[in-house]
Amino acid sequence: MTRRPVDLSLYLVTDTGLCGPRGVPATVEAAVAGGATMVQLRDPGTTDADFVALGLAVRQVLAGSGVSLIVDDRVHLVQDISADGVHVGQRDMSPSQARQLLGPDAIVGLSISTIEQVRAARALGDDVLDYLGVGPVWPTATKPDHGPAIGPDGVAAVAAASPWPVVAIGGITTVRAGALRHSGVAGVAVVSAVCAAEDPAAAAASLRATWDGQP
């Protein structure tokens, strides 16, 4: 069973609108300085060309950091950006097809909200997925079309059923990150908690300290 290494401790999902005039690359750079361990580039409203340009700028600020860059949904742009992998949802390209296109070394993540979806993912085989994004834990305005919030107990149940590491997402704040530390997940994913923060580095540092159990 092959597992590509992933550090899900503090997983930043970008939001171009929330980053505002500061911009996505500067926000990512600050978040990584504060302790972010993975970055997912997400901007569903932009063109492929603009998405690639944004991805290359983010790739540049991540150079030498050891932080993986994941592309949301757009499997066909992973190589153009020199990203480390892709994250797909239940309605996106199948993880198996993404793995086939990207090869054995890419990181492939999948959004999950139920134990039934974990079972379906397990049927894909051992070497397709590297991690699961589980949620929404709490309601979130950054993805208005999300399904029902499953709460910390729902996340814990999915994590217990998953053979892959799990990152929790949806409405996570510094306080809520602490509530998830013992739920069996490998980390927390945030959008607005960092992208909309006045000081993304400080926001990321606070989240990371809470996740690591520091006072």
Residues labelled catalytic: 42, 111, 143
| DSSP secondary structure letters along 192-215 | HHHHT-SSHHHHHHHHHHHHTT--
CA 169 to chain centre: 8
| Tokens 């500061």 belong to residue | 22
Contacts of 61 (CB under 8 A, 6+ apart): 25, 26, 28, 29, 32
CA distance 190 to 182: 18
Instruction: Decide if 69 contacts 36 (C-beta within 8 A).
Output: no
* Helix, coil or strand: residue 183: coil
Is residue 30 classed exposed, middle or buried when 0-12, 13-18 and 19+ CB atoms within 10 A define those classes? buried
